[in-house]
Amino acid sequence: MARYIGPLCRLCRREGMKLFLKGTRCYTEKCAFERRKYPPGQHGHNRAKLSDYGLQLREKQKVKRIYGIMERQFKIYFEKATKMKGVTGENLLKLLERRLDNVIYRMGFAINRRQARQLVRHGYFLVNNRKVNIPSYLLKPGDVVEVFAKGKEKDLIKDNLAMAEQRGFPAWTEINMEEMKGKFLRIPERDEIQLPVHEQLIVEFYSK
């Protein structure tokens, strides 16, 4: 399966904003974006103003990188979103929020989506008492996500949950800290998906 293996901080600098791809490091002074707030590359300081197409492209790339998915899969999500009732851009974000790796991150079991994807691949989670190792698995309202037995003693997950508890959990999830499980209550509304993106630009990009 194709995946990005390059430096993550470079992606934040390219998009001109923190994408929080490296977890707690993004909140410290070690964050590369804090030290170099300009695009990477030889001419990073002198980038020209973006055209309308450039703005649309950057918005698409930004969302892809936040959720850690590649172009082909992202386009499949967009095509699904166009066939759903409602606003296409909002439908796209709601589909992405339903991904198992994203929900695990939102529930606090992982420090970022990249780590959540790895934990899912290694079989650390159950969905409705069945082991699921597919990060792109789409959850439905009412689904219960639980840490598998071998993961409940893992200090990494315990520490992640403790930090997440301090930040707070999304209103569309229900977390049981003691049993290390969470319930996907409902699909979040657009104003609950706190991402600084303009999804309409993505719709315009694919509509050309």
Give whole-number Cα distances, 31 to 13, 28, 55, 125, in Å.
Answer: 10, 6, 25, 30
Task: Give the domains, in start order, of the chain with CATH numbers.
Answer: 8-96+194-206 (1.10.1050.10), 99-184 (3.10.290.10)
Name the 3-class secondary structure at 127. strand
- State pTM to two decimals: 0.81
Per-residue pLDDT of the chain (208 residues; tens, 9 = 90+): 456 556 665 565 555 656 656 565 555 565 555 555 556 654 455 566 778 888 899 899 989 988 989 999 999 999 999 999 999 999 999 999 999 999 999 999 999 899 999 999 999 999 999 999 999 999 999 999 999 988 888 899 999 999 888 888 999 999 999 999 999 999 999 999 988 889 999 999 998 7
Residues 6+ apart with CB under 8 A from 147: 109, 124, 125, 126, 154, 157, 180, 181
